[in-house]
A and B are shown apart, each in its own frame.
Chain A
């Protein structure tokens, strides 16, 4: 039972990391109509900036603004120089341009930092584990990730539902032309949304630093799963991204943990392991296919 709870927490922690990525991606996709493949690169840039500052200064606290500011600046620069020219173009052009950004940023990071992965130290005081329930020992840092992720989700909820910017964002995702017709500076709004998305990706990168290897190509690994989240949640819906992230995080973790064991009940050990590993890595894509069959626009459609 404690093992199951621990796996649930692992799923939750993976889920909130996905949410930080998916929130930005779904806003950019939903409001601006841009397929931003380079979102993962911003995550990588945030992780590198954070890891570098943390290593140089021995202070995790200084790493936080570094990662967030650098990610936001790179995001805004990307929007102003490249993405802005793509709003009226079709999706293929957007995919090509943002894919080019991935290649350029990956190569730039390789030139600057080399191919060896970097590491960020754990923030002081969060390195150990605590006993949540008798027998359930969980790393403090991962709990902190869950707390930060859920707080960001709550903050985004307030921002989107209670502020003027949020109102414009909601309006923009429903009917872009009408917002423009009402005299709103849509360009400014786009830049703000893109910057916000980049900031969240940078935060995800920063928090990933101490547990994952900070390395070239880390962005693409998480990006694919993030797109699955966006599609399941419904394009443009923050609420959808939130629930879909948690669902994907938990489903992926539980499948990985329990499917081979389940299959072993009625198959030979090695075959069960191989099949289980194969099916569990397909699991989230199967889930996406099922969701799309039942609800072609995702679980939460933004303009409903």
Chain B
């Protein structure tokens, strides 16, 4: 090859490179939990998010996007490292995906303090919702406490007078028990913090049996919840002591795993697969078409997060050099949530309705979650007032 040819070739290559740079897709960093017992949570968030992208044919709000998916393995340190790498090496400006509040606690500050935006599809610990709220931090799912406030209200509505409460000993577990207590009008006869990596709950079962509560409230997401419920059933407690939980302790996968034993359990949620609105029907149909596994509310939150991002990208044309207009557009929440009404409150956490669900035998004999009455309307969270944005 002579020099002239080489120079021409280089010039063409360079031109091509700069051309691709111009319409390079927007990078979305998804840090989520894909391995270990809680791996299906992150998997569903990722796949729900992907459904929204696929529905538009590879774009969100008309802007081409690429997802960079990384597994945090439920380790706060991993989440932080991944965030650093994506921020500094990949130049990612938009983050989402974190499932667990302990990972969020370690990872969020790096992202939002470094001029990038984080939009939570799940974890929303109380310490980021009040006075520590941040203009770059949005939550599409719920604030941790509100999720369990709905369960507390549900237990009150159902007329239970004493409750035994259990949750893992980490931020979201504390938020869960705090939230439940805030709306439960009865007496708490026992409060137990379990471990996030616990596999055997026999000791807790014995304590519940001994305390003889009218109802048990527990928060155990993912594999933890399945194990807890199975052991609750094996200890013979399911027949004697009813249970009131929020959605994470009775998602589609847990329900599938526990089976008929779950019939009669009271659940509360902001979304359920039987919701009668266009967006939800479209989402459920798309999920069934694409995946051969139970649909969970994690998937719906991933999907809604993608829709929220799409609404903002559409408004600003995908320009993330200046984040101001993007935030402005996102705050309007101009999208059709699968939950129906949805708005961001002053701390950029959702204002939404909560519903009572009950596990019943479905038409095909398999247990399913059936939506009942609305428990809380346009419900925000306990920390919104402390936030000054």
Interface residues, chain A, with chain B CB atoms under 8 Å away: 3, 6-7, 10, 13-14, 106, 110, 114-117, 119, 122, 127-129, 137, 139, 141-142, 208, 211-213, 215-218, 220-222, 253, 256-257, 260, 269-270, 273-274, 276-278, 281
Taking a contact as CB atoms under 8 Å apart, the answer to whether A129 and B35 are in contact is: no
Q: Is B319 on the interface with A (CB-CB < 8 A)?
A: no
Q: What is the bound-complex CA distance between A260 and B199, given in angstroms?
A: 19
The residue in chain A whose Cβ has the minimal distance to the Cβ of B43 is: A115
Q: What is the bound-complex CA distance between A276 and B203, given in angstroms?
A: 14
Taking a contact as CB atoms under 8 Å apart, the answer to whether A211 and B207 are in contact is: no
Q: What is the bound-complex CA distance between A149 and B173, given in angstroms?
A: 34
Report A-chain residues with C-beta under 8 Å of the C-beta of B234: 122, 127, 139, 141, 211
Q: A116-B253, A253-B202 are in contact. List 14 more A-B contacts (CB 8 A).
A: A6-B206, A14-B202, A116-B293, A117-B257, A137-B209, A211-B227, A213-B257, A215-B39, A217-B36, A217-B37, A217-B39, A221-B197, A273-B192, A277-B194
Report B-chain residues with C-beta under 8 Å of the C-beta of A273: 191-193
Report A-chain residues with C-beta under 8 Å of the C-beta of B169: 274, 277-278, 281
Report A-chain residues with C-beta under 8 Å of the C-beta of B210: 3
Q: What is the bound-complex CA distance between A34 and B195, given in angstroms?
A: 30
Taking a contact as CB atoms under 8 Å apart, the answer to whether A142 and B202 are in contact is: yes
Q: What is the bound-complex CA distance between A295 and B352, given in angstroms?
A: 59
With contacts defined as CB atoms under 8 Å apart, how many contacts are there between chain A and chain B in the complex? Answer: 111
Q: Is B34 on the interface with A (CB-CB < 8 A)?
A: yes
Q: Is B231 on the interface with A (CB-CB < 8 A)?
A: yes
The residue in chain B whose Cβ has the minimal distance to the Cβ of A276 is: B193
Q: Which of B54-80 contact A (CB under 8 A)?
A: none
Interface 1/0s, chain B 174-188, versus A by CB < 8 A? 100000000000000
The 12 sampled A-B contact pairs (Cβ below 8 Å) are A7-B203, A116-B294, A117-B37, A139-B236, A208-B199, A216-B36, A218-B37, A253-B202, A273-B193, A274-B174, A274-B193, A278-B169
Pick from A3, A115, A128, A211: contact of B231, CB below 8 A: A211
Q: Tell me the interface secondary structure of chain B in the complex.
A: helix
Q: What is the bound-complex CA distance between A3 and B202, given in angstroms?
A: 11
Report A-chain residues with C-beta under 8 Å of the C-beta of B202: 10, 13-14, 142, 253
Q: Is B226 on the interface with A (CB-CB < 8 A)?
A: yes
Taking a contact as CB atoms under 8 Å apart, the answer to whether B203 and A10 are in contact is: yes
Q: What is the bound-complex CA distance between A276 and B193, given in angstroms?
A: 9
Taking a contact as CB atoms under 8 Å apart, the answer to whether B39 and A281 are in contact is: no
Report B-chain residues with C-beta under 8 Å of the C-beta of A142: 202
A10 with B206, Cβ < 8 A, contacts A119-B230, A213-B257 known: yes
Report A-chain residues with C-beta under 8 Å of the C-beta of B34: 115
Taking a contact as CB atoms under 8 Å apart, the answer to whether A257 and B206 are in contact is: yes
Report B-chain residues with C-beta under 8 Å of the C-beta of A7: 203, 206
CB distance from A126 to the nearest CB of B (A): 10
Taking a contact as CB atoms under 8 Å apart, the answer to whether B35 and A110 are in contact is: yes
Q: Is B341 on the interface with A (CB-CB < 8 A)?
A: no
The residue in chain A whose Cβ has the minimal distance to the Cβ of B73 is: A217
Q: What is the bound-complex CA distance between A141 and B269, given in angstroms?
A: 34
Pick from B174, B203, B204, B223: contact of A117, CB below 8 A: B223
Q: What is the bound-complex CA distance between A215 and B41, given in angstroms?
A: 13
Interface 1/0s, chain B 291-316, versus A by CB < 8 A? 00110000000000000000000000
Q: Is B132 on the interface with A (CB-CB < 8 A)?
A: no
Report A-chain residues with C-beta under 8 Å of the C-beta of B193: 260, 273-274, 276-277
Taking a contact as CB atoms under 8 Å apart, the answer to whether A115 and B40 are in contact is: yes
Q: What is the bound-complex CA distance between A110 and B207, given in angstroms?
A: 35
A218 with B40, Cβ < 8 A, contacts A119-B230, A260-B193 known: no
CB distance from A48 to the nearest CB of B (A): 13
Looking at B193, B202, B226, the one whose CB has the most chain A CB atoms below 10 A away is B202
Q: Is B235 on the interface with A (CB-CB < 8 A)?
A: yes
Q: What is the bound-complex CA distance between A75 and B338, given in angstroms?
A: 48
Report A-chain residues with C-beta under 8 Å of the C-beta of B200: 10, 14, 211-212
The residue in chain A whose Cβ has the minimal distance to the Cβ of B174 is: A274
The residue in chain B whose Cβ has the minimal distance to the Cβ of A103 is: B35
The residue in chain A whose Cβ has the minimal distance to the Cβ of B34 is: A115
Q: What is the bound-complex CA distance between A104 and B202, given in angstroms?
A: 32
Report B-chain residues with C-beta under 8 Å of the C-beta of A277: 169, 192-195
Report B-chain residues with C-beta under 8 Å of the C-beta of A6: 206
The residue in chain A whose Cβ has the minimal distance to the Cβ of B41 is: A115
Pick from A119, A211, A216, A278: contact of B37, CB below 8 A: A216
A222 with B199, Cβ < 8 A, contacts A115-B40, A277-B193 known: yes
The residue in chain A whose Cβ has the minimal distance to the Cβ of B33 is: A115
